[in-house]
Each structure stands twice: as C-alpha cells, then as structure tokens.
A and B are shown apart, each in its own frame.
Chain A
Amino acid sequence: MNDIVLDVSDVNKTFGGLQALSNINLKINKGKTHAVIGPNGAGKSTLLNVCVGRLEPDTGSVMFDGTNLTGRTPHEINQLGVARVFQTPEIFLDLTLLQNVEIAALARRDGSFSFNPFKAMAAEKELTREAEHMLGEVGLGKLTEEHTGNLSRGDKRRLEMAMCLIQHPKLLLLDEPTAGMSRHDTNRTIDLLKRIKEQGMTKVIIEHDMHVVFSLADWITVLAQGTIIAEGTPDEIRGNPKVKEAYLGGAEV
C-alpha cells in the first residue's frame, strides 16, 4: 500500500544557463491538498509543466502512482489520471459548455483515440447527464447550452475545472485557480475545492492568494529561485522567517 501519489525526486531544469529548478524533491500523499507557493519566477509553473509532460526535466524523475512520467506526452499523462487547470483558461471556444465537458468525459471513457463515426452524440444520454450534473456542481448548471465565448473569466475557469473533475483524476493540478476572480467567485471556488477534497482527490495548487492557500492546503511547499526553501503545515509556514524574507516583507504571511 503506497500512499504517495506524486513523487518528484532530484529534478533539475535549466533554461539556457538559468536554473529554473534545482534538486526539487516533493512527495505528495493521497487525498491531500498540497500548495506550492513562492514569488514570481520561483519556478512554480515550471514544476507543474514538468509534472504534466509539457517540459522534460534535465535530471531526476517524476513518478506518478508508480509510473515514471518523464518522457511521456501530455495526453498519456492525462490518461494515467492527471488533470490540469491552466493559469489562463484553456477551453474549447465556439462549443457549448455541455460539449466542452462531454469531450472531457469522452477522453476518460474512450481513451486517447477511438474511431466511432457512426455513433451519434445525441445517443450518448448517460454522458450528457453526467456532464450536466458536473456543470451543476461547479455552478454553471444554467448555462449548459451557451457558447463558451460568452463566459466571464471566472466562469471559464470553473468550466475548466468541471472538465477536469469529470475525468475523476487521481491528481488534479491547479495553476492559480482564483487569479483574476472577484472575492465572491474566489470563495465559491474554495468551497468547490473543499467539496472535492472530501471525495479524496489529491490536489496540487499553485496560488498567490494566501487566503486560498491557508483555507485549503494540508501541506505547503515554498519555492524561491528554483529551490525549496521551506516545507510544512500551514501553521509552520505562517511563522517561518525565511518565507517572510522570500516574499520581501510579505506581512500578510
């Protein structure tokens, strides 16, 4: 019985002489919400990109649920059970909200490729019901037939979350899920993420908003200039002087 879902060990990544990540070691336990914080340029997004196969680490390895992720393509990694919410919402514009979520559900059901030109989408009743339910869960239940181009930024991100959640991923990666959201929207998102947590989904959150971090995280890793400078429970991090220094007088911490 292995409780570690994601195991990042000794990962290094340089971009033309710039050390973006150096000797990163992270272990993320099943069912936990793990926040990665740090100032701009600390390497948070790079770390996430390494985890989803967008970037390959120079050295070290990323193990997910017993599988080595290095060298795998993003769609393979997704099929293994890793879903990602982007910093700027990546959704299918022009399609309806329902169709966006249905596509994600199809990926879970049919795998990375399936050829079924003589099946009708209209006959996928089960899939549609599930997608509608999921949209309701994230608070977009009234907009299922709308085209996504009309959505606000916050709604787009919620839609993206619905697309990830319907895949029932083992690991959900969230890159600043509340950036650019109003306080009201942020709180709704926090509630949503808390509800997911109850279902036992493992999450990694990159976030600037400390309110979000401290409401959700079980464990926090602080990155600065590509290295881990502190790790611990929210309470430990709150009192850590090194962290305060890294945030240059981030008094709110």
Chain B
Amino acid sequence: MGINRRDFLKIAGISTLASIGGAAGLTLIKSGAIEAAQYIDDPRALKAKRWGIAIDINKFKTPEDYKRVMNACHTIHNVPEINNPKEEIKWIWTESYEHSFSSQEYANPYIQDHLKKKPFLVLCNHCDNPPCVRVCPTKATYKRESDGIVMMDMHRCIGCRFCMAGCPYGARSFNWRDPRPFIKKLNPEFPTRMKGVVEKCTLCYEKLAIGLKPACVEASNGGMYFGDLSDPNSDIRKVLASHYSIRRKAELGTTPCVFYIIGGQ
C-alpha cells in the first residue's frame, strides 16, 4: 500500500509539532536551571549613574604621595611588578605633564612651570565613549551601562590587543608572560591574570560592590575625589564646580571621566 502526498504531509507535520513540543517540555521539566531571580543586590553596594574621579594635583607633593596610591591599587589587584618597560603591567602610574596632556601644549604652551615639571597620576579614564570597547571583537571589554565603568571580562579576552591600539591614554597593559612569578605578595581574595590577556584599571568594581570606594581614592588621603558625575550634589561635582580642572585629550571625543584639579578655589 502506498502513501499519498496528502497523508505524508499530515504525518510529517504532526511529528514535527510533537518533537518540538517534546523538546520544549523536556527543557521545562529538566531541573537545575538557574533563574535570574536567584540573584539579589547587596544593599551595601555603592551606586551611581556615571562614576568619575577627580585628582587634586596640589595634594600630591612628595613621591611617597604617588607611591602610596599606586601601591594600594597594585597590591590588592595582584598587579605584577615587571621591571622591563616593554612588558610592564600598570593600572595606575605616573606620567610627565608632556605625556599626560599632550594637547595642552597647543592649548596653552606658556602654562605655569610647576605644572610642566610635575608628575601626574594617570589611570584608565573610564570614558563615556570608550574606543577600546568599540574595537573589542569579543566584548571582553565593555561599558557597564548601570554606572559607566569600562570593565574587563578576563574570561573572554583573546589577547588581540586592538583595545591597546584604540586607547589614546595607554591605560592598557598586555601580559606577555605569566604574571604570577612577578607578584610579590598574592592577594588571595582577587584573581591574577594569565599570559596573553590585556588588563587595566576596573575602578575597583569589586570594592564598590561591597560599599567601599576605590583603593586609590582611599589611599590618597583626600587627594582624590570619587563620586557620581550625573548627580549635581555629589562631592565630585561640587569640587569640580568650584575648582579649575582639565581632562586628558578631551578633544578626541572619548569623554574621559578622570579630572585633574589644577587651580585652587
């Protein structure tokens, strides 16, 4: 007995429906799926729409002032100390005026001498329009929409270094070798990185999550302000409203969120 076209289509249709339904049913009864509702917010977490940092350069006087801040960051984040400038890893470091504010040479070549001679603390600017995020092919670096932090997901980084080429501030470092042997004292509460990934400042997202300010701000003894740039009543907005401040390479349109307070009140 043969089967006619009409019957064949009926059977094919019904069996397709049955298999789709069965598969859906199986996923429903399959235990173990984790639901988003199982995550809850930590009430201690600091929240903002747009985090920013203001560095009052007048409060950084001795080399120890800079060192204290840099060490605070590098020790808690297991940043290796590699004494080879081609391979070094840095999250926050010092740079000359000329290198930090290259465009200021055109804006005002006759700026005060003491500024030209001063070292400046530099770090990732957590740009509002971050070029590193645009070029990342795996979205390993991305902007947190909730608070504007430019984050790194080390699990996804493939080490292509497009972001390093994209960043106009040199805020990113590549791990040319296994960093572990170069870390003097491991902080067991924070991961290290591995060979072949790019890393940078993450604005201490892990500290913000438990209600603490970034390590550099804590260690700066009031030399750095941290707060919500979208809130006109925040400390950082008040300090920026009353002091003259500049940003690094703002003309590039990346909208950096690290400010340098130059003038007094």
Q: Do A and B come from one complex?
A: no
Which B residues lie at the A interface, using CB under 8 A?
none
